[in-house]
Amino acid sequence: MKKRKLGTQGLEVPVLGLGCMGMTFAYGTGSDANECLKVLERSLELGMNFWDTAQSYGPYTNEELLSKVLAGRRNKVIVATKFAWQNGIAKPENLDGSEANARTSLEGCLRRLGTDYVDIYYLHRKDPNRPIEETVAAMGKLVKEGKARYIGLSEVGPNTLRKAHAVHPISVLQSEYSLWENNLEEKVIPILRELGIGLVAFSPVGRGFLTGQIKQYEDIPANDMRRNLPRFQGENFNINIQLVEAVTKIAASKGLTASQAALAWVLSRGENVVAIPGTTRIKHLEENAKAAEVPLSTSELDQIKNLLVQFKISGNRYNEAMAKMVTAD
Ligand SMILES: NC(=O)c1ccc[n+]([C@@H]2O[C@H](COP(=O)([O-])OP(=O)(O)OC[C@H]3O[C@@H](n4cnc5c(N)ncnc54)[C@H](OP(=O)(O)O)[C@@H]3O)[C@@H](O)[C@H]2O)c1
């Protein structure tokens, strides 16, 4: 697996990591823990040894699951985890970017993961009642103490990035970026380039939508959070599926699946960009891994660019409660 250097502090990761959220959280309740453990193991064989977890995925159970495969192999994996919410429950009123929460949360993450350091410690969402400088200074102390190697932020905008980076170097921003989500392009990506910060693209296959495997709203399990996202609902779904169908045709002409084309597109966006597709299945993991080996040609990228103009995505990516926790500034 190819690697990329992100940020100015020496972090190097494979271009495709493994998003672990769906193993215990968000997408249905049907994931098979044994298969997830095999997915984690296989990710190491494929060189996708960059695992993305968070305190809130469960809460807590995701890190506990990862610890089972991490044991005895700590130096073979780049582990990224996140904090933000008291009790790990992702609600606006639980956001707490205090030094005390940064520290206590990391102690909990380390205990659950069974390790004495994480590679990347992210602030999952900014606390709206606290200056970013205060939270990042607290995270910087944890780096100095050797409990985290690098710092990342998630879902914050250009001014927040600039203020944070002035306090302690931010190695990566983790935000949503894919064929159907381009909110970073105008203001955030230029700042990342200016400051030398890497981008870890989350939901790079559109929470499954861009894989072409979700053909109708009813395909989403009843207890799955995607049912609450506007882009998956009603007329929006019918409009948005047209982009997926068109991308699938271009992908097929090159012997690729829609997922592989979606991932190859994200990786084509710059040397400071990597992606963390999420999966709970070996078959999908192996399919996704191949996307790192098949760069899209200029002509295919041009065709996709035209599709993005032709098929405008309809509906917000988040519902109101989730959107409230994004820091656009
Ligand atoms: N920082 C944040 O706030 C934030 C927010 C969201 C996500 N994340 C991180 O980013 C990671 C990835 O994002 P995500 O999981 O939301 O979205 P994603 O990677 O775009 O999509 C994951 C979904 O796509 C399906 N999938 C993946 N590869 C597939 C393939 N080749 N064929 C068919 N289906 C496929 C998965 O189902 P199967 O399990 O069946 O493969 C899963 O339902 C998460 O795991 C998490 O670590 C971070």
What whole-number distance in Å separates Cα of residue 191 and Cα of residue 162? 8
- Torsion sign across C-alpha atoms 139, 320, 62, 207: negative
**Which of 171, 61, 75, 169 lies closest to 115 in space, CA to CA?**
75
pLDDT confidence of residue 238: 97
CB 169 within 8 A of CB 136: no
Q: 67: CA distance to ligand 1 center in Å? A: 20
Q: What's the distance, CA 24 to chain centroid?
A: 15
Residue of the CA atom closest to atom 29 of ligand 1: 284
Residue with the smallest CA separation from ligand 1 atom 15 is 278
**Residue 308 Cα to chain centre, angstroms:** 22
Alpha-carbon gap, residue 1 to 235, rounded angstroms? 39
Q: What is the pLDDT of residue 30?
A: 73
Q: Say which DSSP state 208 is in.
A: G
> What are the pLDDT digits (tens) for 36-77?
999 999 999 999 999 999 999 999 999 999 999 999 999 999
- Residue with tokens 């009813």, as numbered in its chain: 218
Residue 174 CB–ligand 1 contact under 6 Å: yes
pLDDT of residue 302: 92
List the domain boundaries for the chain: 3-208+265-294
Which pLDDT does position 68 carry in this prediction? Answer: 98
Type of residue at 96: D
pLDDT at res. 89:
95
Hey, whose CA ends up nearest to atom 14 of ligand 1? 203
Query: How far, in whole angstroms, is CA 295 from its chain's centroid?
Result: 21
> pTM of the prediction?
0.98
| Residues annotated catalytic, as ranges | 57
Of all atoms in ligand 1, which is nearest to the CA of residue 206?
A: 20
Mean pLDDT by 10 residues, the chain (329 residues): 98 98 89 95 98 97 98 97 96 97 98 98 98 98 98 98 98 98 97 98 98 96 95 98 97 95 97 98 98 92 94 96 96
The architecture of the domain spanning 3-208+265-294 is Alpha-Beta Barrel (3.20)
Asked whether 290 lines ligand 1 (CB < 6 A), one says no
Would you say how long the chain is, in residues? 329
Q: Which two tokens stand for residue 275?
A: 């992606």
Residue labelled with tokens 């072409």: 212
User: Which among 36, 188, 211, 227 is the best mutation to test ligand 1's pocket, defined by most ligand atoms within 8 Å of the CB?
Assistant: 211
